[in-house]
Structure 1
């Protein structure tokens, strides 16, 4: 029986980890070879991209794609995790919260839009001296993370709702890979002087993959897999070598005659039978594979 091979889009529910979703997929598809392209916190819902079988090799080309989120930021309280799973560390006075007008919220959001230097959440998965930041934070150690350059392409306020001692702001965010929406909530609250944290987060898109195309985490056995060639062609240009060129690419040879067939740094090479040979890059006037699929599952 052929092993499953392809890209699996999953709509993660809240309350479970991304690792839990991978474990479910392994059981449902009866294979151990499954990886993911970026996790979601247990509180968060939305799109996870899993690579199954040889298609795990494609995940490195998915991880860096931009992403869309919808979220709710609660102004009026800060937490030690920058989200609702943490402990409240500070609350704002009623007078300070009352002074947070829609105009001030819009100005704060505008200041966090575009290229920014963002300090990740202290409970992020970033490694510090070989250990995850969240492990250090949970062990009671001070975690000082360096600011990272990210791009917030859009940060739109959808609604502002008053609650008991808080003000909830529903937002939509389009951002580069490596952005922490929790940190946006924290920084908006700090800018407004009232504290802020995330109470809801949903990832709705990664690159060309929308959550609308994702399967439920409870029905993975029947979920369709995107064939490797189709998935690769969605994230990069597609090039069609002939049979001899495809054979040479699979054998690691430099191949002439294909460099002008695509723009950008790389392309998906698809053979005459519609199988993904691999991912190619230019080498002067030639091209060469930088990632090859196994021939039996290409």
Structure 2
């Protein structure tokens, strides 16, 4: 027998508006879907907009299993000033005339920040320092340093360059760069802005950030909270979500019954986590093969819910 939590379960791909936190999105989704079982993957800063993956009901169990290791962004970097937060919401630390920075120098700086790099996260990040979040420590005035971490920037493309300011009238020249970035999870776009500005000797910070994709989920899947509130539907039901996110193995009704009751299947040589789907196109479980067993890492439809 089908269960209401299965029928309502799925992933909601939210196009987050600026000015609210990822937790705000979760809170609003709890009200819209009338459930406490809501979670999100991949936090977005309040300033940022774009793709935020939210799990509803049983799909919250998927969030830690989804391969969300690649992310894409559209951003604007301003050269000519550095800030305490490496974005426009922080206090200005330094200013410099960026009008003399050439396009070739910018291209060279971008190239140096592309590929496998070591990146120091922003101090307003959620990284823990001695058990406390870095952004919380910053507010206390504590002095600390974060260690560089390996990240991969697979794409760092210049889309447009705008130059502003009038040095003859005493207005420092700034350069705004519209960029597209594809990167590994854990990469901070604001840190790219900071490091590019530092390398060019004029300072830099982020003025706009929009996440365009997380793993397989893009803005094409996304809806605003207002749109979600109007129709009250998830973006992808739990079957669509797992079939989009994982490799697939088709199984028989007997095999589906077996795995839904916590038993295992015969391995077939598939690597990593994959989804097993019954003849009725229902996702039964996420499976991983080890030795002579293909056993579940998450049962999507336990026997009690089928």
Q: TM-score range by the shorter chain?
A: over 0.9
Q: Is the 8 A contact 1:62 1:235 kept in 2?
A: yes
1:169 equivalent in structure 2: 177
Return the alpha-carbon distance in structure 1 between the equivalents of residues 286 and 274 of structure 2: 6
> C-alpha displacement at 1:209, in angstroms?
1.1
1:184 maps onto 2:188 in alignment: no
Aligned ranges 1:251-262 → 2 under 5 Å: 251-256=261-266, 258-260=267-269, 262=270
Please list the CA deviations of residues 30-75 of structure 1 after superposition, one character each: whole Å capped at 9, or x if unmatched. Answer: 1111000111111100011100000011111236331110000010
1:149 equivalent in structure 2: 150
- 1:219 is paired with a residue whose SS is helix
Unaligned runs of at least 5 residues, structure 2: 166-171
1:267 equivalent in structure 2: 274
Return the alpha-carbon distance in structure 2 between the equivalents of residues 204 and 149 of structure 1: 22
1:204 maps onto 2:208 in alignment: no
Q: Among 25, 38, 44, which residue is 2:42 paired with?
A: 38
Q: Normalization by structure 1: what TM-score?
A: 0.93
1:138 equivalent in structure 2: 139
> C-alpha displacement at 1:106, in angstroms?
0.5
1:228 equivalent in structure 2: 238
Q: Is the 8 A contact 1:24 1:220 kept in 2?
A: no
Q: Among 87, 91, 104, which residue is 1:87 paired with?
A: 91
Unaligned runs of at least 5 residues, structure 1: none
Return the alpha-carbon distance in structure 1 between the equivalents of residues 181 and 65 of structure 2: 22
1:11 equivalent in structure 2: 15
Q: Is the 8 A contact 1:78 1:196 kept in 2?
A: yes
Return the alpha-carbon distance in structure 1 between the equivalents of residues 259 and 94 of structure 2: 59
Aligned residues: 292
Q: Over aligned residue pairs, what C-alpha RMSD do you find?
A: 1.7
1:113 equivalent in structure 2: 114
Q: Is the 8 A contact 1:266 1:280 kept in 2?
A: yes
Please list the CA deviations of residues 68-114 of structure 1 after superposition, one character each: whole Å capped at 9, or x if unmatched. Answer: 1000001010001110111011111x2xx233111010010011111
2:125 equivalent in structure 1: 124
Q: Is the 8 A contact 1:215 1:223 kept in 2?
A: no
> C-alpha displacement at 1:241, in angstroms?
2.0
Q: Is the 8 A contact 2:68 2:214 kept in 1?
A: no
- 2:19 is paired with a residue whose SS is coil
1:279 equivalent in structure 2: 286
Return the alpha-carbon distance in structure 1 between the equivalents of residues 161 and 305 of structure 2: 50
Q: Is the 8 A contact 2:99 2:163 kept in 1?
A: no
Q: Among 236, 239, 247, which residue is 1:237 paired with?
A: 247
Please list the CA deviations of residues 208-229 of structure 1 after superposition, one character each: whole Å capped at 9, or x if unmatched. Answer: 1111221111122315321212
1:213 maps onto 2:221 in alignment: yes
Deviates more, 1:196-205 or 1:53-62: 53-62
- 1:212 is paired with a residue whose SS is coil
1:48 equivalent in structure 2: 52
